[in-house]
Amino acid sequence: MADINSLEAMLTERVAGKKAIGKTIAFRIKDEGTLRINGKEAPVTIERTEDKADATLTISADDLQGLLDQTINGQTLMMTGRAKMEGNPTVVMKLRDLLL
């Protein structure tokens, strides 16, 4: 079972060395807290903050881990309601560049 600490470590590893995208993307993790990718400038960082982001995904810890492990498809999560998005949808599309 995933928790916010392991997810923060996974995200930090994934964004290391990535180019800035000029935006912020938050993951509001159910019953855990919020992790935000600050991609406004290099180096891209992961923050634990409730500050506003350009796009926010509300998702369970296990589903976020599956998304990062590529065992769960992001479109499936959105279409089945297991993930909900607020904000700019084009920013969420930049996740692929940051996380893969």
Secondary structure letter of residue 62 according to DSSP: H
Residue 22 has a pLDDT of 95
| Residues forming a β-bridge with 28 | 34, 58
3-state secondary structure of 79: helix
Could you tell me the pLDDT band of residue 42, with boundaries at 50, 70 and 90? very high
pLDDT in tens, 47-83: 999 999 999 999 999 999 999 999 999 899 999 999 9
Residue 99 has a pLDDT of 85
The half-sphere exposure of 94 on its side-chain side, counting CA atoms within 13 A, is 21
- Look at the pTM and tell me if it is higher than 0.85: yes
* Class of the domain covering 4-99: alpha beta
Residue 25 has a pLDDT of 97
Residue 43 in this model has a pLDDT that exceeds 80:
yes
